[in-house]
Structure 1
Amino acid sequence: MTSRRSLPRLAAGVLGISLTLSAVPAATADARPPTAPTVSEQQVMPHLQALQRIADRNGGNRAHGTKGYADSVAYVKRALDRAGFRTRLVPFTHDGATAHNLIADWPGGDPDHVLLTGAHLDSVKEGPGINDNGSGSAAVLAAALQVAASGTKPERHLRFAWWGAEEQGLIGSKSYVSGLSGAERSRIDVYLNFDQAGSRNTRQWLVVHDDEHGETEAQQAFEAWFAERSIPTFDIGVGGSDHESFGNAGIPSSGFSTGISDCIHEACDNLANVDPKTETTSADAIAGVLHKLAATKPRH
């Protein structure tokens, strides 16, 4: 991911308010929102292991136009179907090969206010692409499954996506965005993207700042989540990843990356190229922020 950087950012502190139990009416206490879902290492790393196995049995990669990519889509779709998502495969053709974007909707929420969360699922032909971008794909999948398991009843509609042929020039995301009507585009409150979510030796999370739309609600939520855990963040601009397709269409964007790994676009971008702790933190952040944004009533 190559982007313009801006000043480091840390969110403000949290205001604490103390109340005695007797001061809270029973009806109010019962109406408290459910605790935000969390993601453990045991809930995210098996997805990366599965993507590695898929690459291993398909020529060492999961690239566009290969069975490795098709099997990757099938794996993610099965997991979402079992969890109760409404899934659909959206075909597109590039360089003589047909592939699919995978779209998954969680039932409920205001369809006029969509939170769209995505990551590209394909690798390059040179390697399995486990950090770039199995890590983002697995983190989004783990977060989506935890949102479902938590029984979240969102105010806004939750949609998740896994893109194909992004390594060929952001083809899958461009195809999806170009297929949206003007009304459909206007219903997307923000697009959240995650690219290389498990890089080794990560010292700060690179949170996307939308140059066109300014500091979005989602950016603030991510920075607050990390700040509450004393994890440093750094702003990067939209560009160089799947955000670009949405930004070009005027759709606000945010999300994060953990930076370019040592083995980007090489055979060594395998399971050993991902730090499990970093990957888990990323998935946990996605789940927590999605829960917060989903519970927020739309502003317009």
Structure 2
Amino acid sequence: MKTFNVSGKKIVVIAMSAALLTGFAGCEDPRWVANKVSKAMKEKNLFDHLEALEAASVPTPDGNSITRAAGTDGYENSADYIMKTLEKHGYEVTLQEFDFRSWVELDGTTLSVNGQQLVHVRDATDDIPADYAAMSYSGSSDGAISADIAFVTPDFNFDSPDYDDTDGCEATDFDGVDVTGKVAVIQRGGCTFDSKVVNAENAGAVGVIVFNQGNDEGRKGVVNGTLGSDSAATIPAFGARYDLGKGWYDALESGAITAALSVQTQDEVVVTENVLAETKAGDPDQIVMVGAHLDSVPEGPGIQDNGSGSAAILEYAIRLKKKMKRLPVTQKNKVRFAWWAAEEAGLVGSEYYTGEVFGAYYADAQAQIMEELGISDPSELTDEQREMVEARYLEINPIKMYLNFDMIASPNYIYGVMDGDLSDTKDSPDNAYPGDFEPPEGTGHIEGLFNEFFTDKGEVTVPQALSKRSDYSGFADWGIAFGGLFTGAEKTKSAEEVEQFGGEVDVAYDKCYHQACDDINNVNSVAMEMNSRALAYVATFYAMSEDLYADDKNQQDAAPETRTLRTLAVHDGHDHEHRIGEKIKSASREVADHGHFHGDFDQDRK
């Protein structure tokens, strides 16, 4: 700065460096803004939120732990903390209420086979491994049940070209198998646990044990599964280790085997709510949505699963608002934040949201097209006309992408990025989108941007199969581009991954997954901060982008200058029937039917 006197007046001249001028020019670059917001995500602030969520927990019914499960005061306290923190920083908060089926396993569950008392997952330690778990939404035993076990067509010939992994998936699998009054023992694989249990119950079974599949290392431990909140099963259902099931099968050659079991549950319909907020700035017709489930499982406080994702989004909402006030930039697209309820009950909160909100947009789109075509009955629409409806729906739906953050700070972590283009995981057994499914347009670009962030930090990433085990499922089914991060759950870490990320080989990414020990000590601070910064970088990049996919080398079928958020919805270069999921296909047959579809989630459903 220099000062001159001109005609008795002091003039101050500020010399701006070339670097400073370049910095202001960079304000128009989404990456410049994204880096600014990303660097504002600090470990201390993130852990302050995690501590608050742990403090929000309440004792479980058996008194053995604390919980934030949907339907409990622990969840309500968590939602209240999110809401008050957002309001403190100038956000308007909306609570979206809905009914859901709350299920809690009470104290006193037991399972023994041939007199050997098995170890419940709740009672396992580092020295005493778990043998079994009660499946969520299992029926109660109403006292003790003792009965012979009966196997339903297991197949241990994993390398055989005729290997059958669909035991119990069809009612005909029980033909010729006497399960009446017995405990059916069924190998995992091929369909949902609910299908196996309902089929067994219809065949006369009084209980079911699903033992793990055993066809790879990830399918040998305890099946910690769920029947889903829409299950009609009323009999007790358990999941067990593979080696136990195989041992029982071999022992049958020596005579009958008896199981004794007991499980008591609390099963009721309650009201809970999603927590929603959005920025005031940005185009309301082009919304970038960011979400995480706020609830825990009934067994524990769920600070890693999924306090980690919830805290990261909350801190991002705070930092984004502050940075937008201080930086000389204009936010291009509105950002909407969601904390989902009842994910652990079967993605209920996010499915309710997408069904209600997207279902209404689809109904409007169909009404518009029918009026333009002079058609009064939806059944008269041809396939080509249905594609017109789908294209119109994507055009008028303002939510153009969804970013999901579920378990982003596992203690034995990897940096997992959802494989949006299916280039690495199409043939994975964890891929829930086989066949002709093509992810919604833009999903691959989101994956690439996450990978760009980690590469810039000198980190590698692990492509994650699209398993439908979290809240992106409903968005994918409604044709919305999606992406997200995941640091691992019950599966074990490989030697190669230890070389890449450190940690312990052949140990679960999260040893406290869905257990009472998932408290704040179960959160890896390095992964928590890194993934939170990745979240902020990617979400801010899209919030600041008018020309969304200009640098996407994988989308050659559209001119870069036209790849905006809005053109994401109406681009006609893809087969919509494949790209748009089952939700739209169902809605196109009957717009009034917006019932829930519960896909897989982070507690295995199949």
User: The TM-score by the shorter chain falls in which range?
Assistant: 0.7 to 0.9
Distance 1:70 1:56 in 2: 10
Distance 2:89 2:274 in 1: 19
Q: Where does residue 156 of structure 1 map in the other structure?
A: 333
Q: Which amino acid aligns with 1:189?
A: K
Distance 1:84 1:194 in 2: 23
Q: Is the 8 A contact 1:193 1:254 kept in 2?
A: yes
Q: Which amino acid aligns with 1:267?
A: A
Q: Is the 8 A contact 1:208 1:255 kept in 2?
A: no
Q: Which moved more, 1:149-158 or 1:166-175?
A: 149-158
Distance 2:23 2:470 in 1: 43
Q: For residue 173 of structure 1, report the CA deviation from its aligned partner.
A: 0.3
Q: For residue 213 of structure 1, report the CA deviation from its aligned partner.
A: 2.6
Q: Does 1:36 align with 2:36?
A: yes
Aligned-residue CA RMSD (Å): 2.2
Distance 1:188 1:174 in 2: 15
Q: For residue 218 of structure 1, report the CA deviation from its aligned partner.
A: 2.0
Structure 1 residues 56 and 99, CA gap change in structure 2 (3 angstroms): closer
Cα displacement string for residues 1-29 of structure 1 (whole angstroms, at most 9, x for unaligned residues) = xxxxxxxxxxxxxxxxxxx954x895x75
Distance 2:419 2:349 in 1: 20
Q: Is the 8 A contact 1:210 1:252 kept in 2?
A: no
Q: Where does residue 483 of structure 2 map in the other structure?
A: 254
Unaligned runs of 5+ residues in structure 1 are 1-19
Q: Which amino acid aligns with 2:320?
A: V
Distance 2:400 2:444 in 1: 10
Q: For residue 123 of structure 1, report the CA deviation from its aligned partner.
A: 0.6
Distance 1:252 1:225 in 2: 19
Q: Give the 5 Å matches for 1:118-267.
A: 118-151=291-324, 153-180=330-357, 181-182=360-361, 186-209=397-420, 211=422, 212-213=439-440, 215-238=443-466, 239-260=468-489, 261-267=510-516
Q: Is the 8 A contact 1:207 1:222 kept in 2?
A: no
Q: For residue 56 of structure 1, report the CA deviation from its aligned partner.
A: 4.9
Moved segments of 4+, more than 3 Å: 28-32, 56-59
Cα displacement string for residues 223-267 of structure 1 (whole angstroms, at most 9, x for unaligned residues) = 101110011112223311111111111111101111112111110
Structure 1 residues 210 and 65, CA gap change in structure 2 (3 angstroms): farther
Cα displacement string for residues 147-172 of structure 1 (whole angstroms, at most 9, x for unaligned residues) = 11112642111000000001000000
Q: Where does residue 46 of structure 1 map in the other structure?
A: 48
Distance 1:242 1:64 in 2: 15
Distance 1:204 1:100 in 2: 30
Bigger Rg, structure 1 or 2: 2
Distance 1:128 1:289 in 2: 28
Q: Does 1:70 align with 2:70?
A: no
Q: Which moved more, 1:194-203 or 1:144-153?
A: 144-153
Q: For residue 216 of structure 1, report the CA deviation from its aligned partner.
A: 3.1
Q: Which amino acid aligns with 1:62?
A: R
Structure 1 residues 188 and 237, CA gap change in structure 2 (3 angstroms): farther
Q: Is the 8 A contact 2:68 2:297 kept in 1?
A: yes
Q: Where does residue 79 of structure 1 map in the other structure?
A: 85
Distance 2:276 2:296 in 1: 19
Q: For residue 61 of structure 1, report the CA deviation from its aligned partner.
A: 0.2
Q: For residue 217 of structure 1, report the CA deviation from its aligned partner.
A: 2.8
Q: Which moved more, 1:50-59 or 1:174-183?
A: 50-59
SS of the residue corresponding to residue 103 of structure 1 reads strand
Cα displacement string for residues 162-200 of structure 1 (whole angstroms, at most 9, x for unaligned residues) = 000010000000000011122587211110000001101
Distance 1:108 1:60 in 2: 39
Q: For residue 57 of structure 1, report the CA deviation from its aligned partner.
A: 6.2
- Count of residue correspondences: 279
Q: Which amino acid aligns with 2:74?
A: G
Distance 2:418 2:17 in 1: 38
Distance 1:84 1:25 in 2: 31
Structure 1 residues 280 and 25, CA gap change in structure 2 (3 angstroms): closer
Q: For residue 53 of structure 1, report the CA deviation from its aligned partner.
A: 1.0
TM-score where L is the length of structure 2: 0.44
Q: For residue 31 of structure 1, report the CA deviation from its aligned partner.
A: 4.8
Distance 2:345 2:55 in 1: 23
Higher relative contact order (CA 8 A, sep 6+): 1
Distance 2:421 2:458 in 1: 23
Q: Is the 8 A contact 1:121 1:162 kept in 2?
A: yes
Q: Where does residue 128 of structure 2 map in the other structure?
A: none
Q: Where does residue 14 of structure 1 map in the other structure?
A: none
Q: Which moved more, 1:208-217 or 1:85-94?
A: 208-217
Q: Which moved more, 1:137-146 or 1:159-168?
A: 137-146
Distance 2:478 2:464 in 1: 19
Distance 1:179 1:234 in 2: 34
